[in-house]
Structure 1
Amino acid sequence: MTCQICGASLPERAMFCGECGSSTSATPLSRKRADAQPGDTSIIAPLPPQSAVFSIPYRMGEEEPPPTAVVVPAVSPAAPPAAAPPAAAAPNDVAQWPPADVAPPFVMEFSTGESLAVVGSGLVGRRPVAQSDEEFDHLIQIHDVGMSVSKCHLEFGQHDGEFWITDRFSGNGTVIRRPDDSAIRCEPGRRYLVPRGSRVEIADQFFVLV
């Protein structure tokens, strides 16, 4: 018997999940609520499947993963404009990376001291597992001794250059602290935009988006 909310294994005839506290008859669809604060989130169409980028799962606090993962290079500040080239430019000129119109990747700096550059979508939790009809670029595993973080605590993704998160019906909830706003407690199953510099609290752990 499996909890339809967090995926935990349950004993037969259990009425509630010991991991997330949900009723065994609850489903993600039945847990959805009406959107009472439409200004706090952005309604986004489902994202297309993305190709895998990192070798995950990755346990926070352990050594860096082997160099089989694709590393996203750090972005340096834009260099000052160079002098105009002569009319006949050399044919072997090399373009600079990244182009001026390309935003730097999002980096999640975790309370454990680890940092991870993310591209696309992913899940964060003690033991995140995607459902059979889901596909993600990252499965980020957090080592939480107190077990305050749910097995599959939150989902994140990117759309039109913006970063968003969704609480996956976690047991202890998710709170966003934006740089210029008060704290927002996320309603499960709803997408919230997270600007750079925000702190996202996942139970006793957190990460800062830079």
Structure 2
Amino acid sequence: MTAIWEIDDGEEEVPGLDADGRPDPAYAARLGLIRAPFPRRALSVLIDVVVYLLVQLPLWLFAMPLVFLYLSGSLSLYGFVTHPSFLLAAIMAGATVLLTLVLGIVQFVLHGRKGTTIGKSVFGLRSVHVAKLGRPGFWRVVLRSIIVAASGLVVVGPLVMVLSPLWDSERRGRGWHDHATRVWLIDVRGGLDPYDDKRMRVARKAAEAAEIAERPGLPSLATSAASGTAPEYRPAARVSAGVLGVARTHADDDAPPVGLPDTVAPSPATARDAAPQVVLGVPTNLRGAPPERPTPRMPDRVESEPAPSAPSSVAPPPIPQASPPQPSPQPEATPPQPGLTPPAPEAASPDASVPPAPPVPPRPPAPPEGVLVLDTGQRIRVAGRVLLGRDPQARADIGDARLIAIPDDTRSISKTHLSLRVTELGVELSDLGSTNGTEIERDGQSAVVAPGAPVLAARGDTVRFGDRTFVIHLSTTDRLA
């Protein structure tokens, strides 16, 4: 049974606190928050004071001279009221009071909800709650102003209060009034703006998520594929097939021969039934150097033979061909004798004079492909290099890539958000400096992809870019249409 004190009271969990519940400056530094520089902080206060004094000008220019005359005794009360400038002085005094009231409310509301005032906006400063790193709150700002005003009761009080940020033990530039109200002034020009919700959300996830290990270097083709052993690089070797491949290790007694032996005697059946195939000009049935074929000596002239008296079934022997073939003299044709049947021509024997068909090169393997399943259920087949974004554009540093536009009404996806490349090991992702970043979710844990650093995602990983997501499915059978 759950005790009553174990029920969740709905309190918001505040990240970035140490074991004692105090704000951790290291956590704020990981987010990218930078304390406000003291000179700009002093100038922002000066701007707020100058704006306040400008609002008081109507009172001091039109009302206070008449008041001084009355206080000095130059005017009686009746003369003060009936003075020609009394109406103008009253209007200007009322306008000054109204403007001061409006200015004070605007300054307090902006400071409490947005962490800024007129002076802080000019110099790029913001006030935040030191623990929640959010808006400080209206009443905290009011209390802070009351403390600063109360320091004026002492002669050097305002000066000490202004210089107190220099003595901050946490080195965060917080004064005594900041410590009393748990307020911290930060620089949004040089660091992160905590009032940018999207950037703050990405920064918190990056600070809290575990770092993704860098992509391991791929071994060479000659690396041993034995399981259970760490990959060890070995240079590529040339195997007996004549192409670069994997040079596997063998024992001394079972090592296969490398290279071509001197002679290989083909079997009679192979020599009789199969014609030699020529690859790169060398017959496959001859592993050594092809023997030189003797060139027959041709007679100087060919005499015609007398016509035979009877038909002969034996065809004249073929004239031997030289290698390379040379033109040879043909015997004079003998006219057929009357009443005799000319001999039938002998069928052409399979000879090396007919060149064999060239070998068909092997078909290159199809590149690896993958399927991206978007959060809307849409399936996108990808292969090679792909650029995703709201309106992706080609980049010279990436080269040829397929551009895929992802609809996004909230504009949380950058125009060219990320690039991915399908490999045999998975999908290589790279964030291209997007506004809202890229994350990989695996087994309930998420990790932020650092801009420009390629990360290898596996099958089943969920990739979040902006407010959209997709799940990676690797495919070895599907092909792009």
> What is the TM-score of this pair, normalised by structure 1?
0.50
Q: Which residue is equivalent to 1:183?
A: 446
Q: 1:150 to 1:43 in 2, by over 3 A?
A: farther
- In 2, Cα distance between the equivalents of 1:38 and 1:208? 18
Q: Does 1:39 align with 2:302?
A: no
Q: Which residue is equivalent to 2:386?
A: 122
Q: 1:38 to 1:161 in 2, by over 3 A?
A: closer
Indicate which of 356, 361, 374 corresponds to 1:110: 374
- In 1, Cα distance between the equivalents of 2:216 and 2:422? 12
Q: 1:139-178, aligned counterparts within 5 Å?
A: 139-178=403-442
Runs of 4 or more, structure 1, over 6 Å off, are: 101-104
Q: Which residue is equivalent to 2:396?
A: 132
Q: 1:139 to 1:113 in 2, by over 3 A?
A: same
What SS is found at the alignment partner of 2:433?
coil
- In 2, Cα distance between the equivalents of 1:195 and 1:134? 22
Q: 1:38 to 1:182 in 2, by over 3 A?
A: closer
Counterpart AA for 2:434: S
Retained in 2: the 8 A contact 1:125–1:141? yes
- In 2, Cα distance between the equivalents of 1:163 and 1:171? 22
Q: 1:105 to 1:192 in 2, by over 3 A?
A: same
Deviates more, 1:144-153 or 1:110-119: 110-119
Q: CA RMSD in A?
A: 2.8
Retained in 2: the 8 A contact 1:177–1:198? yes
Retained in 2: the 8 A contact 1:43–1:191? no
Q: Which residue is equivalent to 1:203?
A: 466
Q: 1:164 to 1:143 in 2, by over 3 A?
A: same
Counterpart AA for 2:392: P
Retained in 1: the 8 A contact 2:371–2:382? yes
Structure 2: 5+ residue stretches without partners: 1-188, 190-210, 219-364, 474-481
Q: 1:145 to 1:42 in 2, by over 3 A?
A: farther
Counterpart AA for 2:395: Q
Decide which structure has greater strand share. 1
Tell me the number of residue pairs that the alignment of Structure 1 and Structure 2 aligns. Answer: 119
- In 2, Cα distance between the equivalents of 1:128 and 1:147? 13
Provide, for residues 115-143 of structure 1, a one-character-per-residue CA deviation record: whole Å limited to 9, x for no partner: 11111111000011112353334211011
Retained in 2: the 8 A contact 1:162–1:194? yes
Q: 1:55-94, aligned counterparts within 5 Å?
A: none
Q: Which residue is equivalent to 2:293?
A: none
Counterpart AA for 1:205: R
Retained in 1: the 8 A contact 2:426–2:458? yes
Structure 1: 5+ residue stretches without partners: 1-14, 16-36, 45-100
Retained in 2: the 8 A contact 1:165–1:192? yes
Cα distance, 1:113 vs structure 2: 2.3
Retained in 1: the 8 A contact 2:370–2:422? no
Retained in 1: the 8 A contact 2:372–2:471? yes
- In 2, Cα distance between the equivalents of 1:140 and 1:203? 16
Provide, for residues 136-175 of structure 1, a one-character-per-residue CA deviation record: whole Å limited to 9, x for no partner: 3421101100000000000101334421100100000001
Provide, for residues 2-28 of structure 1, a one-character-per-residue CA deviation record: whole Å limited to 9, x for no partner: xxxxxxxxxxxxx9xxxxxxxxxxxxx
Counterpart AA for 1:159: T
- In 2, Cα distance between the equivalents of 1:199 and 1:148? 17
Counterpart AA for 1:41: R
Greater C-alpha radius of gyration: 2
Q: Which residue is equivalent to 1:91?
A: none
What SS is found at the alignment partner of 1:39?
coil
Counterpart AA for 1:128: P
Report sequence identity in percent: 32
Counterpart AA for 1:118: V
Cα distance, 1:106 vs structure 2: 1.1
> What is the TM-score of this pair, normalised by structure 2?
0.23
Retained in 2: the 8 A contact 1:176–1:184? yes
Cα distance, 1:41 vs structure 2: 2.8
Cα distance, 1:40 vs structure 2: 3.9
What SS is found at the alignment partner of 2:213?
helix
Cα distance, 1:103 vs structure 2: 9.6
Q: 1:102 to 1:190 in 2, by over 3 A?
A: same
- In 2, Cα distance between the equivalents of 1:182 and 1:155? 22
